[in-house]
C-alpha cells in the first residue's frame, strides 16, 4: 500500500477526502506530505502545514472530524516516545524551567495578544452563556470567578498566573479587593503593572514555588497546564499553605479526558513547551488530604467559541502586526488556534473551574 492510500485509510470514517471539494477536506500541494505524516504523526502534520504542503478551507472543521473518531489513537507511533521520555526523565515542570514558558510563548510580543484577545487581554476561556461577543464572554468569566469566590471588599486575593493583570484589575475595580498576581512572563508583568496602576494590585515576576503569605481567596486561571504532572501535589500544597482556613481556591484549567505525562509533540515544540493537561484523576490525587472539592464546573464547549473569536481577531488584524513576524508564523498560529478549536468542539479537551475549600463549608457551597 502506498503512502497516500495509507493516509486515506486513516481518514476512513471522518468524511474527509484528500483533494475533495468540501470545506473540511484537505488539499495536498506536496506529495511528501503523506510520508511525513506517517513517519512523524501529529508533529509531521503540523510542520507540513507550516511549510505549506497542505491546506484546508475549514481547518477547525478538519480537526473536529478527525478528533471525533479518535484518529490520534490510530497514529500513535515511536515518534512520540522521545516526548514521553523527556517528560519523565528531564523533569518537565522543574523550577529551573519555570520561566521557559514565559520567554517562549507569552513574551513573543504584547502587540500580538493585543490584536488577538479581547479589550481586557484575557488569555483564557470566555463564558458564553449569555454573551454576544468576546468582550462580553470574558467579562462574564471574570465576574463568574468573583461571584464563585464570594469576594468581600477589602479582602486579599492571590492570582497565580495573572497574565497581563486582567483579572486583578477587574476584581480590584468591581469588588474592591486587593490582588497580588504572579507571572513568569516579563512582558506580562510590565504591561500588567501599567494597566493596574493606581489600584490595590501588585504584580510580581515570580514562580509559584516562591509564594508565601496568607490570602482570603486564591484564583488560578489557565496556569495549571504549565505545572507538570510531577508537581501537581507540590502546587496544591503551596496553594493550601497560602490560603486562610475559611478561604476558597478556584482552579480554572484545561483538562484532558485521560491521564497523560506529556503533551502533543507539535504543541510542545511550537506553542506551549513543557505543558500538559491534567485529568480528573490527577487533579483528584493532587488535592487529596489538602482540600474539599465544593464545586466542579465544565464549560469546555465555550473554548471552541473563544478560540474561533481569537482566530477571527488574529486574521483580521494580521496587517497590524505582520511586520514583526513572517508567513510561517501566521500559518503556525492559525494551525494552533483552529486545531485547538476543533479539539474542544469534539470534546477531546475540557475546561474546568474547580472550587476548593480547606476544611469544607459546613452549610455547603451555595453559588448562585
What's the grid cell of residue 265? 509533540
Query: Rounded CA gap, 273 and 275, in Å?
Result: 5
The helix (H) or strand (E) run that includes residue 91 is none
Asked whether the CA dihedral 107, 109, 113, 114 is positive or negative, the reply is positive
Catalytic residue among 162, 196, 242, 340: 340
**Beta-bridge mates of residue 219:** 159, 250
Q: Are 279 and 260 in contact (CB under 8 A)?
A: yes
Q: Please state the separation of Cα 61 from the chain's center in Å.
A: 20
340 in catalytic set: yes
Element (H, E) at 216: strand 215-221
Per DSSP, the three-state class of 158 is: strand
Q: Is residue 364 within 8 Å of residue 320, measured between CB atoms?
A: no
Burial 197-226 (b: 16+ CB within 10 A, else e): eeebbebebbbbeebeeebbbbbbbbbbbb
Residues 6 or more apart in contact with residue 88 via CB below 8 angstroms? 261
29 burial type by CB count under 10 A (0-12 exposed, 13-18 middle, 19+ buried): middle
Length of the chain, please? 368
CB 75 within 8 A of CB 43: no
The DSSP element (H or E) to which 75 belongs, if any, is none
Contact residues for 44 (Cβ-Cβ < 8 A; gap 6+): 36, 37, 38, 79
Indicate which residues carry an active-site annotation.
340
Amino acid at each position: 500500500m502506498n503512502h497516500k492510500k495509507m493516509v486515506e485509510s486513516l481518514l476512513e470514517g471522518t468524511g474527509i477526502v484528500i483533494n475533495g471539494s468540501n470545506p473540511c477536506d484537505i488539499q495536498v500541494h506536496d506529495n511528501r506530505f503523506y510520508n511525513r505524516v506517517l513517519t512523524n504523526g501529529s508533529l509531521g502534520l503540523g510542520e507540513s502545514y507550516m511549510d505549506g504542503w497542505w491546506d484546508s478551507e475549514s481547518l477547525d472543521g478538519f480537526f473536529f472530524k478527525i478528533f471525533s473518531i479518535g484518529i490520534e489513537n490510530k497514529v500513535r507511533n515511536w515518534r512520540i516516545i522521545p516526548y514521553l521520555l523527556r517528560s519523565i526523565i528531564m523533569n518537565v515542570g522543574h523550577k529551573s524551567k519555570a520561566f521557559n514558558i514565559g520567554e517562549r510563548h507569552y513574551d513573543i510580543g504584547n502587540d500580538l495578544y493585543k490584536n488577538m484577545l479581547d479589550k481586557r487581554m484575557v488569555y483564557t476561556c470566555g463564558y458564553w452563556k449569555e454573551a454576544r461577543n468576546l468582550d462580553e464572554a470574558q467579562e462574564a468569566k471574570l465576574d463568574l470567578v468573583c461571584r464563585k469566590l464570594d469576594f468581600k471588599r477589602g479582602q486579599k486575593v492571590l492570582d497565580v498566573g495573572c497574565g497581563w493583570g486582567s483579572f486583578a484589575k477587574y476584581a480590584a475595580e468591581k469588588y474592591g479587593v486587593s490582588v497580588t498576581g504572579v507571572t513568569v512572563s516579563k512582558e506580562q508583568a510590565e504591561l500588567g503593572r501599567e494597566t493596574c496602576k493606581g489600584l490595590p494590585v501588585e504584580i510580581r515576576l515570580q514562580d509559584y514555588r516562591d509564594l508565601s503569605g496568607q490570602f482570603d481567596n486564591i484564583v488560578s486561571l489557565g496556569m495549571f497546564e504549565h505545572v507538570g504532572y510531577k508537581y501537581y501535589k507540590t502546587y496544591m500544597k503551596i496553594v493550601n499553605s497560602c490560603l486562610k482556613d475559611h478561604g476558597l481556591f478556584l482552579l480554572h484549567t484545561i483538562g484532558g479526558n485521560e491521564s497523560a505525562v506529556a503533551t502533543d509533540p507539535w504543541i510542545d515544540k511550537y506553542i506551549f513547551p513543557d505543558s500538559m493537561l491534567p485529568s480528573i484523576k490527577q487533579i483528584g490525587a493532587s488535592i487529596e488530604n489538602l482540600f474539599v472539592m465544593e464545586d466542579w464546573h465544565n464549560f469546555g464547549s465555550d473554548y471552541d467559541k473563544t478560540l474561533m473569536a481569537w482566530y477571527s481577531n488574529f486574521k483580521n488584524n494580521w496587517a497590524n502586526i505582520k511586520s514583526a513576524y513572517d508567513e510561517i508564523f501566521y500559518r503556525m498560529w492559525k494551525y494552533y488556534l483552529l486545531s485547538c478549536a476543533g479539539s474542544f468542539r469534539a470534546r477531546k479537551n475540557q475546561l474546568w473551574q474547580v472550587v476548593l475549600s480547606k476544611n469544607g463549608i459546613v452549610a455547603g457551597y451555595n453559588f448562585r
